[in-house]
Structure 1
Amino acid sequence: MNKLLKKIATLGIPFAITMTMVTGCKEFLEVQPKSQISISDAFSNLANATNAVIGVYDELMGDNGYGIRINMYYPYDSDEMIVSGNIDNGRRGIGRYQLLLTNTEIRNPFLQLYRGIEKANLCIEQIPQMALYNNGSEADKKELRRLHGEVLTLRAQFMFELLRNWGDVPAPFTPAYKQTDLFIPQSDRDETYKKLIDDLKVATDLVPWRTEIPVRNERVTKGAVKALRAKLAMFRGGYSLRSNGKIERNADYQTYIKIARDECADLLAKRTEHTLNPSFEDVWRKLTSFTYDPYGEIIFEVGAGGSNSTSDSRMGNYNGPSVNASSRYGTGGGGLLVLPNYFYAFDSTDTRRDVTTTLYAVAATNVKSPRRLGEITDGKFRKDWRNPLLPGTALNVGYNWPLIRFADVLLMFAEAENELNGGPTAAAISAFEEVRKRAYKGNETKIGKTPTDKAGFFDAIVNERYLEFGSEGIRKFDLIRWNLLAQKIAETRQKIQDIRDAKGAYANVPQYIFWRNNGEEIQWQNSFYKPSTTTTAPTGWTRLDWRQHLTTNLIDGVQLHAGIARFFVTGKSELFPYDQATVDAYQGKLKQNPGY
């Protein structure tokens, strides 16, 4: 729940014309400012400058930010989860890769990301020019430098989201009021990444570590800057769809992989700042109960609050298990479905399975009922975990969105070490196994043997990130930077077919599961990993279609086998198109992404 002031610091005319640099739309030019505060007044003292920076943070959240669209529409479909329901020119169109230029779910977040960049640009320009920046008290100078580092980091986050979804985008690094032509050309993404990575190097020296500040909230700290810099470097060193329609990576990729490795190594050496929570479940229990985590595993999170569409989130309402409005938890859930192959990617002793996935819905009576194999939902942001409870039909649950966790740092470090050294080092294996051992807490001997060759270790990293980051908006973009998205989509379709047919690795998936309620909870009679020997429910138990459910409900329907990533075309679908209004506003000066 957001501890920052949930108000936008309106800074006069320059903020009122935000986005004209990209769209040039007449309605944006005609928006009247909410305040006539001049730029000089807005940056006249520390309090005003702080409000301005809070206004930049505010553009991360809300329905068009990391409240629902960017984090729960854009990362799907993948080989882990899909959006539920039939195709439309909205979120399901995005999930099925039917990316129409008239889809407002593409346009509106695009506008908000640029609005965030414009606000950040003005702060980046103005804060270092303040008299207090060099001549104020030591406390003032320290705080203003912190603000400066924060907005450099926030601009990098906004731009990163644009780069990984649209590729070569216009990249403004000066405020709109200084632009002689608001329709600036697209920039080469590699140069934009380089600029952002350089900016984050500067920001590292400006912001404090987590333990150096008395109030720990959603503001950027040194750990967040380093982790984000590592992530941007991994993407700069990875594959991406180019304007020529080819998926390529640059010859200098190892330069950036090394940057990522070094940033992660710095974080691994500062375990008093950030480390793994010993319990995977506790990470999400704390997030959904608004409880401080002394381990600091979530390094950078987007604050939510205010119970509205502009500054709050809809995690738990949109996604998570389906919950009846009349229950003690209030309505919610069901927006994301866990693919059957993803459920079966987990070992039965992997503690992440029953956190990342939910096998139940909650009725009005608060009693849980089971979900069939094709109906499993995601679980990290479930509304029935919320503490305090939020009954009724509220859309906004107040959950923060985690952008980077320490587990990501460990696995990026392991991946980078493997790439740079032609195979995993002892340090890489240790980082990799730290994540696995946490997942198998109490059964650490079952983590298996870690590969020691480069290709085998890379495959292990690909799989471990798959299991660790389900429903965190990471998987699809990982697959793109590895150039594996098309392959994994094809493999997923075949795996689901094999599950239905009980073939190969899925020969033991039971046709039915038998269950009963034990109070409000569900008790399972047979194993998910062993074939059922009977089709008749024992006395006192109820039969549930399991593998049987895939026969007609999903595999042969439009929702899954024909539906999962239904319109995906490699060499096109790895990037979004520019929406039609933006294309029109540029009057031919904007190059559309390949295939659109």
Structure 2
Amino acid sequence: MKKILIIIIGITTGLFTSCQEDFLEAPAKSTLDESIIFSNAGLAKGAVDGIKEPFGQTNSYRGRFIPFYGFNTDAEWNLNSDKENDAQADLMIYDAKPNNSQMNTENNAWSQMYTGIERANICIRGLRTFGNPEPGTELGQLLGEALTLRAIYYADLMKAWGDVPARFEPINSETLYIAKSSRDIIYKQLIADLGEASTLVAWPNETSSTTTVERINKAFVKGFRARLAMVASGFQQYPDAVRRSTDPELSVAAMYQLALSECRDVINSGKASLEPSFQDFWMKYNQENLTAGGESLWEIPFADGRGRVLFSFAVRHNGSDQYTAQPRGGNAGPLPNLFYDYDETDSRRDVSCVPYGWGTPINGIAKQELVNSYTWYFGKYRYEWMKRFVTSTNDDGVNFMYMRYSEVLLIAAEAANELEGPASAAPYLREIRNRAFAPADRPIKVDAYFNTLTTKQSMFDAIVKEHKFEFVGEMTRKQALIRWNLLGSNLAEAKVKMANLKNRTGDYADVPTTLYYKYKADNETLEIYGLNRGETTDPGPEYTAKTWNALTDIKVNSLFKTGVNPDNRQFWPIWQVFIDGSNGKLVNDYNY
């Protein structure tokens, strides 16, 4: 069973207990001298584990950042986006205000991230000063972890808010209040930090510290560094325009070369790999298989009674049933057109896009029930695939998948395509498509497909599309669209696609408007006819018919607020409570 990620060694607790919910509060002196804590591997590990504790706070990643950041995109949406004057919906439809009632609290994700950063800063200073953290040592591993965890918090801060205050030393009386820094400066620091961390941490399963995906390892650090290099050189909204960075150190040439090198290191190491089956990978994830060295590179760890990943995103359960005592899931899902955009033989389709929930249980037993044509669920998250029976009313304890090996392959493909051309990119993208299609389908779906990808543009377009099919429901798409300068255009195109699906025109003219279903021998699992294009013939009297055409203009238009350009709202505003508490140092840009 996973260990709860709090400060697990009691004697070190005093180091962090006074880190307040408001990041402007400076931590008190440790109850034990830092020279003792950070020269002892056991004590230092307790302190470094404490860096992760803010992930699990209710208004932090657990209940605010993970459930809300990343929507809406051309692949996924929050299913409550059509609610008017709703604080949660506003976060998704690119209409968030600084006083948003879901986020404008002193203990919100913003402050929790800075709490984590402050803890990391204390650990980094202590380990450098007192620990002699050399590569291959336990203290070196811990320094690498602290540097990486700090980079995670900063990467997510900039992903959500753009320019933010840069704090790379513990707070003192002179630095209680500081202004925002250019994100370019922060990205350069993080990229350098991760370069150092990659020399300190071990490969997966190389040491006892890296046998689990809940600990930082070299494959993740290098993959994460590659991700940040692509983001730092990509398009994003600056106060003056949506553009790339003008810093020559963050140029496409420099950052793509760094990303490609890091990805090739991971690929050539053989220390990570794709699970042969897409479905088997997600089943193992829900079963909480934490063994390092496979497809999962690192996961935000939650204790059994903490974390709301399935609580927020799983296939919906409407009551306490045979699979869970938690009637939750289904807050978000794939766009209704996405299922029909997949190739019918793509094995990722039926794993990722689920058209049913679990109905009201009778005598504790629920059946699958079709929902409607605009309500699809993320099939990557399923209580029914878990080995544990969740009894908590608020949390499921399943980790958040922060990065997996398929992203390394896609980054390698994108960087190689830009620097070396489509022939160099093809092997990386091919590995992902090979996994998606059965051997019998590969001559057409893989081999012939790649024969058409002969230019940089065609290969890039294929990578963008593959990213959507691979990562729907993992909340990575929004940042990718931003750095490709495709956020606004792809969201607008998604509205058109949904309108065409509603009207059964264009690419969706042959999508059936009636589904037919019956229950399999287990009397709980659906057998559905009519989901595939052209399946319009009534399959027989043992099936029940259901109209599959309930998408409305209101739903379609709720992807983003009418009159709002998502490219002008790529970031959330800094919440008012932090503006008010900054002693005049913080302001909002982007016309907030």
Q: TM-score scaled by structure 1?
A: 0.90
Tell me which of 445, 470, 473 is aligned to 2:472.
Answer: 470
In structure 2, what is the equivalent of residue 361 of structure 1?
357
In structure 2, what is the equivalent of residue 16 of structure 1?
18
Residues 302 and 403 in structure 1, CA contact (< 8 A), matched pair in contact too? yes
Which has the higher mean CA deviation after the structures are superposed, 359-368 or 242-251? 242-251
What is the one-letter code of the residue matched to 1:397? D
What is the one-letter code of the residue matched to 1:151? A
Relative to structure 1, the CA distance from residue 3 to residue 181 in structure 2 (aligned partners, 3 Å threshold; closer, same or farther) is closer
Residues 8 and 58 in structure 1, CA contact (< 8 A), matched pair in contact too? no
In structure 1, what is the equivalent of residue 329 of structure 2?
333
1:417 paired with 2:411, answer: no
Q: Distance in 2 between matches of 1:377 and 1:348?
A: 18
1:206 paired with 2:200, answer: yes
Which has the higher mean CA deviation after the structures are superposed, 516-525 or 491-500? 516-525
Residues 516 and 522 in structure 1, CA contact (< 8 A), matched pair in contact too? yes
What is the one-letter code of the residue matched to 2:321? S
SS of alignment partner, residue 544 of structure 1: strand
Residues 514 and 542 in structure 1, CA contact (< 8 A), matched pair in contact too? yes
In structure 2, what is the equivalent of residue 96 of structure 1?
93
1:334-379: CA deviation from partner (whole Å, max 9, x where unpaired): 1113211211121111111111121211121321111222111111
Q: Distance in 2 between matches of 1:510 and 1:227?
A: 42
In structure 1, what is the equivalent of residue 568 of structure 2?
572
Q: Distance in 2 between matches of 1:564 and 1:491?
A: 11
Q: Distance in 2 between matches of 1:50 and 1:437?
A: 41
1:420-445: CA deviation from partner (whole Å, max 9, x where unpaired): 13x3133x101101101101134323
Q: How does 1:122-271 map to 2 (within 5 A)?
A: 122-130=122-130, 133=133, 142-177=137-172, 180-214=174-208, 216-217=211-212, 218-250=214-246, 252-271=251-270
1:381-401: CA deviation from partner (whole Å, max 9, x where unpaired): 1112111333x5532222111
In structure 1, what is the equivalent of residue 343 of structure 2?
347
- C-alpha displacement of 1:589: 2.5
Relative to structure 1, the CA distance from residue 512 to residue 188 in structure 2 (aligned partners, 3 Å threshold; closer, same or farther) is same
Relative to structure 1, the CA distance from residue 325 to residue 533 in structure 2 (aligned partners, 3 Å threshold; closer, same or farther) is closer
Q: How does 1:417-496 map to 2 (within 5 A)?
A: 417-421=416-420, 423-426=421-424, 428-442=425-439, 443-445=441-443, 446-447=445-446, 448-450=448-450, 451-496=453-498
Q: Distance in 2 between matches of 1:111 and 1:105?
A: 14
Residues 125 and 174 in structure 1, CA contact (< 8 A), matched pair in contact too? yes
In structure 2, what is the equivalent of residue 281 of structure 1?
279
Which has the higher mean CA deviation after the structures are superposed, 229-238 or 584-593? 584-593
In structure 2, what is the equivalent of residue 48 of structure 1?
43
In structure 1, what is the equivalent of residue 533 of structure 2?
529
Which has the higher mean CA deviation after the structures are superposed, 201-210 or 586-595? 586-595
Residues 205 and 292 in structure 2, CA contact (< 8 A), matched pair in contact too? no
In structure 2, what is the equivalent of residue 324 of structure 1?
318
SS of alignment partner, residue 403 of structure 2: strand
In structure 1, what is the equivalent of residue 509 of structure 2?
507
Q: Distance in 2 between matches of 1:294 and 1:195?
A: 27
Relative to structure 1, the CA distance from residue 8 to residue 578 in structure 2 (aligned partners, 3 Å threshold; closer, same or farther) is farther
Residues 297 and 403 in structure 2, CA contact (< 8 A), matched pair in contact too? yes
Q: Distance in 1 between matches of 2:475 and 2:290?
A: 23
What is the one-letter code of the residue matched to 1:254? A
- C-alpha displacement of 1:243: 1.2
Count of residues in correspondence between the two structures = 566
What is the one-letter code of the residue matched to 2:277? S
What is the one-letter code of the residue matched to 1:512? T
- C-alpha displacement of 1:459: 0.5
Q: TM-score scaled by structure 2?
A: 0.90
Q: Distance in 2 between matches of 1:12 and 1:562?
A: 51
Residues 319 and 334 in structure 1, CA contact (< 8 A), matched pair in contact too? yes
Q: Distance in 2 between matches of 1:294 and 1:176?
A: 35
Residues 340 and 496 in structure 1, CA contact (< 8 A), matched pair in contact too? yes
Q: Distance in 1 between matches of 2:340 and 2:495?
A: 14
Q: Distance in 2 between matches of 1:404 and 1:131?
A: 29
Which has the higher mean CA deviation after the structures are superposed, 501-510 or 212-221? 212-221
What is the one-letter code of the residue matched to 1:53? V
- C-alpha displacement of 1:98: 2.0
What is the one-letter code of the residue matched to 1:276? L
Tell me which of 69, 73, 77 is aligned to 1:74.
Answer: 69
Relative to structure 1, the CA distance from residue 294 to residue 8 in structure 2 (aligned partners, 3 Å threshold; closer, same or farther) is closer
In structure 1, what is the equivalent of residue 550 of structure 2?
549
What is the one-letter code of the residue matched to 2:508? Y
Which has the higher mean CA deviation after the structures are superposed, 294-303 or 511-520? 294-303
What is the one-letter code of the residue matched to 1:521? T
- C-alpha displacement of 1:538: 4.3
- C-alpha displacement of 1:314: 1.1
User: Identity percentage over the alignment?
Assistant: 31
1:517 paired with 2:519, answer: yes
Q: Which runs of 5+ in 2 are unaligned?
A: none
Runs of 4+ in 1 over 6 A off after TM superposition: none
Relative to structure 1, the CA distance from residue 493 to residue 274 in structure 2 (aligned partners, 3 Å threshold; closer, same or farther) is same
Residues 304 and 398 in structure 2, CA contact (< 8 A), matched pair in contact too? no
- C-alpha displacement of 1:581: 1.2
Across the aligned residues of Structure 1 and Structure 2, the Cα RMSD in angstroms comes to 2.4
Q: Distance in 2 between matches of 1:132 and 1:91?
A: 47
